[in-house]
Amino acid sequence: MNLLILGGTQFVGRHITEAALQRGHTVTLFNRGKTNADLFPDVEKIHGDRSNPNDLKPLAGRAWDAVIDVNGYLPRQVRQMLAALDGRGGHYVYISSISVYADFSQPMDEDSPLAELADPATEEITNETYGALKAACERALPEGAAIVRPSYIVGPHDHTDRFTYWPLRVARGGQMLTPPPNEAVTLVDARDLAAFTLKLTEERKGGVYNATQTVSFGEVLETSRRLSGSDAEFITISEQIAKDRGVLGRGLPVWNPGPEEAGVNAIVSRRAAAAGLVFRPLADTIRDTLAWAKSRPADYVLKAGLTTEQEAALLEELS
C-alpha cells in the first residue's frame, strides 16, 4: 500500500513507520522535520506544519491508499488535512486516546459517552482539554475511518519516560517508593499498537477500538526486578500521602488511584482483540525498554518520576 503517515518519527509514529516499511509498504511522511529528522533517509518526506493551510499545499494532486494520523490534536488540524487531501487519502486511521471518555469512574467500552469542550472554540491543550479535543477530532473524521484509543503507550523510544521510570528505578536498586502492588496500570506496547494500526489499515477496517491491557504494579515491579537482577526493596506509599506531598502524577507516573479513575483500570478492549490486537508479554516490553533506556547518554535526565532527592526525603519521612 501507498501510505501517508502524519508524524511518523517520534515514538508511536516511529514504530508505525518502521513496521510499515518492514511489511513492504511505500511510505510518505508529513511532519515538521524537527524530531528525529535523520530517521528513514530513504523515505519521502514532506515537511510542513499541519496547522498552517499553506504548508498543506504540497499534498495537492497526490493520492494515497491510506492515511495514518498520529499527531492530530485539534479538530481544525483534522478538518484542514481532510480538505487538503480532498478525498484522495484513501482509508483514514486515527490514533486517539482513552482520554476522550467523559467519565473515568465507570468501566468504559467504545460506546461510552465522550467528553465535550466547555468552550468549543478552544485550541489550548491542557490536562483538562486534551481528551475533549481528541474527541472533537474524532467527530471531524470521515465516515468509515478507524479510530484507535490507546491508554498509556509504553516501550522503547518513549519520550515521556512515564512507564520507563519504573523499570529503570527498579534496576538502580535499593529502597524505592512504589504504589501498592495490587494497584492497576493500563498500557499498550507501542509496537503492538503499531502492528494493530497497520492491520486495520491493510484490511481497511473502520470503527472504534480501545487498545489497552491492564496489569498490576506488582507485576511491573517484580518483572523489572527479575530482569534487571537488582536488589530493589519496594516501600509502598499510600495514595493520600502521595497526594499530600504533591508527587502523585509526574512523581509516581502511570498510577491512577481513587474511585474517580476506577474505570480507567476496567476499560474494555474486546473489540480490538477480535480485530487482531495482540499484546506481547510484559517481560518483553520491560526488557526492551530497559535496553533502550540504558543506551541513552549517561547524563540524560528523566522527564517523569521522583528525583533521587525527592525519594530520599520521602523514604526518610516514612521510615
Rounded average pLDDT over 225-252: 96
pLDDT exceeds 90 at position 272: yes
Q: Is residue 172 part of a domain?
A: yes
54-77 pLDDT, tens digit each: 999 999 999 999 999 999 999 999
In this structure, is residue 291 part of a structural domain? yes
118, 174: one domain = no
Do residue 199 and residue 109 come from a single domain?
A: yes
Position 274 in a domain:
no
Is pTM beyond 0.75? Reply is: yes
Shared-domain flag, residues 93 and 236: no
Same domain, 94 and 231: no
- List the domain range (segments joined by +) for residue 23: 2-154+189-211
> Which pLDDT belongs to residue 53?
96
The domain tally of the chain equals 2
Identify the pLDDT of residue 86.
97
Phi, psi at 184, each rounded to 5°: -95, 155
3-state DSSP call for residue 84?
helix
- Distance between CA atoms of residues 216 and 162, nearest Å: 16
**Residue 37 above 90 pLDDT?**
yes
Residues 73 and 27 in one domain: yes
d(CA 93, CA 79): 14
Residue 156 grid cell = 522503547
Query: Rounded distance, CA 301 to CA 314, Å?
Result: 20
Residues 240 and 196 in one domain: no
Q: What is the pLDDT of residue 120?
A: 93
pLDDT tops 90 at residue 266: no
- Compute φ and ψ for 56, nearest 5 degrees: -90, -5
Q: Using 50, 70 and 90 to split pLDDT, how confident is the model at 319?
A: confident
Bridge-based pairing state of the strands 213-216 and 184-189: antiparallel
Q: 85 and 194 share a domain?
A: yes
Q: Output the CA angle 287-292-298, nearest 5 degrees.
A: 125
Q: Please indicate, yes or no, whether residues 53 and 75 belong to a single structural domain of this protein.
A: yes
Location of C-alpha cell 530520599: 312
| Domain-embedded: residue 273 | no
